[in-house]
Amino acid sequence: MNAGVRFTVIIPARLASTRLPGKPLADLGGKPMVVRVAERAAESGAARIVVATDHADIAAACAAHGIEVGMTRADHPSGTDRIAEVARALQLAPDDVVVNLQGDEPLIDPQLLAACARRISAAVPMATCAHPIDNAADVFNPNVVKVVLDKAGRALYFSRAAIPWHRDGFAADQSALPAGSGYAPLRHIGLYAYSNAFLQLYPSLEPAPLEDVEALEQLRVLWHGYPIAVHITDAAPPAGVDTPQDLARVRLHYGL
């Protein structure tokens, strides 16, 4: 683990959203959401914060608030591809660390970004985060992505299924977590860090069959044999913004 890591945060932001059109520009206390996200990222100790977008309106909103922007192609299949393009344009060194922060996380804990970045090393080119699950409903919810780790704190597998499966406990009762068994399932948090060398390699990796089955992009990395370190945080971070209801919840934080 690199205790003094220098890292760049790149925030992919697209204007199109099926559930919440114009999401990055949604007003949060007088500032667009993407600007609020960048401001949170700036509290992490990052050396540089850049918004990666293909839309002029997002670029203009960021520029109006002094946020650096990297313009990208419009046809990227994922946010990871988008930030890889910006990292190339920034001419980051191969061993520089890049944190991928989604543009709909205005309440993210800034220290989580730094902790994730610190997990990158010469041996581990990608990192992410997770937190303990404290109720059975989340274990069995396919919208809650679970991760299991090896003894070094690296991901063995990510799944929408209930992993690890407590054979005896769930055979007896699936309405609660098995008591006193040491069973400690983990929920994956969609925050990522990469070495820039690996970030540039990632778009060339062939999609994995497991990735298609689970609809989880990070399985491509494991399928190709690359390790992913996982930082464990005690509590769940505040949820991001995907729907109008989420936006209303976050606006309460800003007194709206």
Q: At 218, is the pLDDT very low, low, confident or very high (cuts 50, 70, 90)?
A: very high
- Reported as a single tens digit per residue, the pLDDT across 127-142 is 999 999 999 999 999 9
Q: At 256, is the pLDDT very low, low, confident or very high (cuts 50, 70, 90)?
A: low
- Which of 10-19, 125-134, 149-158, 169-178 comes out lowest in average pLDDT? 10-19
- Mean of the pLDDT values across residues 149-178? 96
Res 15: pLDDT: 85
pTM of the model: 0.93
- Domains along the sequence of the chain with CATH: 1-108+238-255 (3.90.550.10), 122-187+197-234 (3.90.550.10)
Question: Could you write out the three-class secondary structure of the chain?
Answer: CCCCCCEEEEEEECCCCCCCCCHHHCEECCEEHHHHHHHHHHCCCCCEEEEEECCHHHHHHHHHCCCEEEECCCCCCCHHHHHHHHHHHCCCCCCCEEEECCCCCCCCCHHHHHHHHHCCCCCCCEEEEEEECCCHHHHCCCCCCEEEECCCCEEEEEECCCCCCCHHHHHHCCCCCCCCCCCCCEEEEEEEEEEHHHHHHHHHCCCCHHHHHHCCCCHHHHHCCCCEEEEECCCCCCCCCCCHHHHHHHHHHCCC
235: pLDDT strictly greater than 70: yes
- Mean of the pLDDT values across residues 58-86? 93
Res 2: pLDDT: 58
101: pLDDT strictly greater than 90: yes
- Mean of the pLDDT values across residues 3-32? 88
Res 248: pLDDT: 92
Q: What percentage of residues in the chain have a pLDDT greater than 70?
A: 98
117: pLDDT strictly greater than 90: yes
Res 145: pLDDT: 97
